[in-house]
Amino acid sequence: MTNLISAEGLQKLKDEYNHLWTVVRPKVVQGVADAAAEGDRSENAEYIYGKKKLTEIDRKLKHLGGRLKVLKVAAPPANPAKVCFGCWVTYEEETGAERCYQLVGPDEIDVSQGRISIDSPIGQALLNKKVDDEVTIGKPRGKITAYITGIYAARP
């Protein structure tokens, strides 16, 4: 798993961690304490749900904390000559369909925004290629051939 992330992505993870730790978790802890004060915990749905929610929050905090320790901020070159982390790449499939993606680390994936993992089959196929290079991309329905039409530091 790639440990690269953009500065913006790192800040989002830090913000999420801080929000969970300083806002969400204290609220849930208070709810659990209030529910526990009501007496019998074995049939207290609020207490049981609160404890489960607290476990989920702690699991997420542990995951985020671990990732924040190993992530390294990287930015694409101003004028990338090859496909690399953080750059946007456009390619045309043999069917004529055009695609445009940004290669990001696993913590920033958002396919609806065009951000795919550098570790994905598509990301790996595109990595280190240049404009006009032919690439073979493995997809669930088989392999396709595509041609790189552009590489950009920012979304084209």
Number of domains in the chain: 2
What is the pLDDT, as a whole number, of residue 44?
82
Strands annotated E in the chain:
4-5, 72-73, 88-93, 98-104, 115-117, 134-139, 142-152
Q: How confident is the model at residue 1 (pLDDT cuts 50, 70, 90)?
A: confident
Kindly tell me if the per-residue pLDDT of 21 is higher than 90.
yes
Q: Which pTM was predicted?
A: 0.82
Segment 46-105, tens digit of pLDDT: 888 999 999 999 999 999 999 999 999 998 788 899 999 999 999 999 999 999 999 999
What is the pLDDT, as a whole number, of residue 40?
72
Do the domain assignments include residue 28?
yes
- Pick the most confident of 31-35, 36-40, 99-103: 99-103
State the residue range of the domain holding 62: 4-73
CATH of the domain at 36: 1.10.287.180
CA distance 32 to 37: 9
Examine the domain organization and report whether 68 and 92 are in the same domain. Answer: no
Examine the domain organization and report whether 60 and 106 are in the same domain. Answer: no
- Alpha-carbon torsion (143, 149, 152, 154), positive or negative: negative
Mean pLDDT of the chain, nearest integer: 93
Phi-psi region of 132 (alpha: psi -120 to 50; beta: other; left: phi over 0): left
CATH of the domain at 94: 3.10.50.30
Do the domain assignments include residue 14?
yes
Examine the domain organization and report whether 47 and 107 are in the same domain. Answer: no
What is the pLDDT, as a whole number, of residue 120?
94
What is the pLDDT, as a whole number, of residue 140?
83
